[in-house]
Chain A
C-alpha cells in the first residue's frame, strides 16, 4: 500500500471501474456474440451455411418452437409457467387432422376449431390455477399428461390420414385441404415460408403487447409481485386467465403449422416441442441480460438453438447429439442469467 504512488492511483481506479463495465457488456450481448462466432465457424467450414435458403430453413425449423416459446414467456410474465404447450401443440395436430379427415372441414373451419380448442385448454389451465388454486407448474404438467393421452382416444392411437379406419369400423375419407397445407408449405414471394412470417407476426404482436401496453405492464406486475399488483388495483385473476389463454392458443396455432407442414396427424409429433420451447424462453432470460421472461429473448433463444443445430448437422454431427447440445446451451444460459449476471447486492 505504502509503495503506491499518486500516479498509480487513478490508473488502478480506472481499471477497476472498467472491468465490471466490460463484463457487463459481455453479459448483455453474450448470446449475440456466441451467435456471431457460430455463424463464422459454420460458414467457414461449410459455405452453404450462409445462403438465404439455409437461413430460411433454419427459421422455418424454429418457427413453431419460437411461437410456443412466446406463449411460455407470457405465462412466465404473470409468474406462472405453462408446461402444457407441448401437448397442446401435439393434440392440435391430431385435432386439425381429425377435423379435416373425419369431419371434412375446410381450412378456415379447421383453423378456427383448433384455435378454439387451444383457447379452451388455456381456460381449463386458468381454472385449475386461479379458481381451484393448483400451483401453475403442477396444473399445466397435469394438463400436459392429460392431453398427451386424450389425443390417442378418438383414433384408438392411430395416426390420422385419408382412409383412416375409426374405432367404429367406419373409414374416414376426408382429405387435407390444400389451403390448409399451404400454411406450412407455401412461401411468400418464393422466399419467406409462411411459418416464418407467422413467427414474426406473433413475435411482433406479443412484443408490443408485453413491452408497450398497459396489459403487458400489468402482466409483469402480477408476475413480479402479485400482492403489489393486487393492492394497485390490478385484476390479477383476470390477467392470469388472459395469459394462459394466450399461451395455449399460441400453442394450438403452433400445432396448426406442424399439421400443415407434415400433412398427416401423427400422434407422436411434437414430443420434444415442450422442452425446446421452455429452453428457448429460458435462454431468452440471458438475451440482453434481461434476467426476466421476454418475448424478444425467447425468439432469439429459439433461433440461437436452430442455428446451432443446423450448423452441427451440416458438419455431420450425429442427429442423436441434438438434445445434449440443447441441454448444454440451456445450462450455460441459466448460469449466465442466475450466476454471473447477478447484481451486486
Chain B
C-alpha cells in the first residue's frame, strides 16, 4: 500500500533515529528499497556507497526533503514523518551540507549568522542591538564547545569555520542527530583533525552522528560502525575495527582492482603534456603526459583542482603559469572554441549546468544537443539540416546504446545515465585527439557507467583524461590513476596497498551485517 509512515506501525522503542523498510522510487530508478538504518545516541555511523547508491536519497528522507514511498521512521521511539526540512529540524535532525557557503551570507558577521534561525522564526525581539547579538551568539558558540571569531564577516572565513558555524547553529536548535556529508572534502588536514575532535565531543555528549564519506582515514578515526549502500539497498554493515577492503568490495559489488584489469600503456609520444602547469594560483604545479589509446584518471577531493586542470587544457581558464604541448607543439588555447578546433574536447562536470539548454528551448533535443559544438562544421552555409543532426544522433544512439524514444527526444525525458551518454556522444561526434571527461559518472547508474567506460576504453587513437572524486569510478575506466590534491599530482596506488590483501575475505561483510 502507500505511505505507511503516517499510520506508524511502531518499531521497537529505542532512542536515536531509526529507519525501517524505507523505499523510494524516482520515475525509472529505485533509489532506495527496503532500507533499514539506525543510529543511537553517542554513536558515529559511517555511511558509504558509490555515486547513485542512494546515500543522498536516504539523507533527504531523514531531513524531510523527500517523502518515502514506503517504510517508517522513529525518533526516540516516536513516529517521525517530517513533511519538510523545517519539521525535521524541529524534531532535532539536521544535515550539515557540503556546500557550506549556504550556511550564511556575505555581509553578515559570524555572530549574526549564528542567530539567523532566530531572526527568521520570530523567536527574537523585533529590535536587535549589536551587543545583544554578540552576547547570544557567544552563548551559542560556548554551548557548542568551540570558539568562533564572532565579529568577522561571513565572506572572509573559510569552509572549516563555516562548517563549525553550521554545527553550532544545529546545536542551538537542540539537534539530536547530525548528518555530515563529505565534511572533510574541502578541508586541510589540520582543519579536518579539528573537525574530528568536534564530532567526537558531540558524540560523547550523546548526539547521534551520521557520517557520509569515501575517505577511509576519516571513517577509521570516527566511525563506530559503517553501513554500505549499493543500488538503494543496505548491502553490508561493519563494526569496529572496520575492514575497509571489505567495505570497498561491498560498495562496488565485486573485488577491487588497482586499475582496470587489462590496463594498457599508451603508445608513442605524448599527445598532450603539461610541464609545471598551475591552473590557479596557490595550487602545486602539475606535470602530466597523456598518450593515445590510454585512459588516465585523476581522483582526489572536491576543490583539489581536477576541474580547473581540465578547464585549463580546454582553454576555458588561462593558466597562471606553466607549459602545455599538444602533439609536441606549444598549446595555449584562449577559448573553448580554439580547443575544439585543435581536437581537444571537454565534457564538463554537472551536465545539466554545463552542457544542456532548458528542455523547452531549441537545442533541447537529443540530436541538437549532440550537434551543438559542431554546427559550423556540419552546416557551413548557416542553415540547419535536420537530417544531418538526426543521422549523427542515430549513430550515437546505436554506438552507446542510449535508451530513448529517438533523436528528437527531449533530454529531460532521459535517465541520468543516458543523458551522460548524450554528453559523451556530443564530444565523440567529431573525433577528438584528446578527450577530457570531468566526473562523467555523476548521477549515472551502474549499467550506463559500464557502457560509458567501455566506450571510452574503445577509443584507441584518443588520449583520454577522466576525473572522478570517487576512486571506484576511476578504477572502472582507467589504465592509470593519479590523485590531485593540495600536495599535487601523484600516483594513486600507494594509498591502497591494503586493498588487495583483504578484497577476497568475504566474511567481513557478513559478520558485521546489521540485523
Contacts and interface: CB of A to CB of B under 8 A. Distances in A.
B358 A217 contact: no
Among A213, A223, A233, chain B packs the most CB atoms within 10 A around the CB of: A233
Contact of B372 (A221, A235, A343): A221
Nearest to B361: A224
B375 A214 contact: yes
Contact of A215 (B353, B355, B382): B382
Interface stretch (B48-56, B118-126, B334-342, B440-448): B334-342
A174 B245 CA distance: 92
B491 interface: no
Contact of B337 (A213, A216, A217, A233): A233
Interface in B387-434: 426
A171 interface: no
A21 to B, nearest CB: 17
A233 B346 CA distance: 10
Given A215-B382, A227-B354, A231-B354, A221 B363 contact: yes
B356 interface: yes
A290 to B, nearest CB: 7
A289 to B, nearest CB: 9
B384 A217 contact: yes
Interface string B370-388: 0011011001001110000
A219 to B, nearest CB: 9
Given A214-B376, A231-B336, A225 B316 contact: no
A231 B384 contact: no
Interface string A183-211: 00000000000000000000000000011
B336 A290 contact: no
Contacts of A228: 353-357, 372
A291 interface: yes
Contact of A225 (B341, B357, B375): B357
B313 to A, nearest CB: 13
Nearest to A225: B357
Given A227-B353, A227-B354, A292-B361, A213 B372 contact: no
A223 B364 CA distance: 12
B322 interface: no
Q: For B353, B358, B360, B361, which residue has the most chain A Cβ atoms within 10 angstroms? A: B361
A85 B358 CA distance: 27
Contacts of A290: 360
B130 interface: no
B236 interface: no
B268 interface: no
A13 interface: no
A224 B346 contact: no
Given A213-B382, A215-B382, A225-B358, A231 B348 contact: yes
Contacts, number: 87
A220 interface: yes
A235 B337 contact: yes
A20 to B, nearest CB: 16
B368 interface: yes
A224 B364 contact: yes
B106 interface: no
B356 to A, nearest CB: 6
B359 interface: yes
B282 interface: no
Contacts of B376: 214
A212 interface: yes
Interface string A217-248: 11011011101111111110000000000000
Contacts of A212: 383-384
Given A233-B336, A343-B359, A214 B379 contact: yes
Contacts of B357: 220-221, 224-225, 228-229
A235 B341 CA distance: 13
A233 B315 CA distance: 10
A156 B341 CA distance: 55
Contacts of B359: 343
Nearest to B362: A220
Given A225-B357, A227-B353, A231-B336, A216 B373 contact: no
Given A217-B368, A228-B354, A233-B335, A211 B362 contact: yes
Contacts of A227: 353-354
A218 B375 contact: yes
B383 A233 contact: no
A235 B337 CA distance: 8
Contacts of A218: 375
A234 B379 contact: no
A212 B389 CA distance: 13
A317 to B, nearest CB: 35
B363 A217 contact: yes
Nearest to B368: A217
Interface centre among B348, B359, B368, B375 (most CB of A within 10 A): B375
Contacts of A221: 357, 363, 372
B346 A231 contact: yes
Contact of A220 (B341, B353, B356, B361): B361
A230 B364 CA distance: 16
Nearest to A214: B375
Contacts of B364: 224
Given A232-B336, A233-B335, A235-B337, A216 B362 contact: yes
B384 A214 contact: yes
A228 B361 CA distance: 13
B363 A224 contact: yes
Nearest to B351: A228
A74 to B, nearest CB: 13
A276 B421 CA distance: 44
Nearest to A210: B362
Contacts of A215: 382
Interface in A31-84: none
A17 to B, nearest CB: 17
Contacts of B348: 231
B355 A231 contact: yes
Contact of A217 (B314, B341, B360, B375): B375
Given A213-B382, A220-B362, A224-B363, 10 more contacts: A213-B379, A221-B363, A223-B361, A224-B357, A225-B353, A225-B356, A231-B336, A233-B336, A292-B362, A343-B359
11 contacts: A214-B383, A217-B363, A220-B357, A221-B357, A221-B363, A225-B357, A225-B358, A227-B354, A230-B335, A235-B335, A292-B362
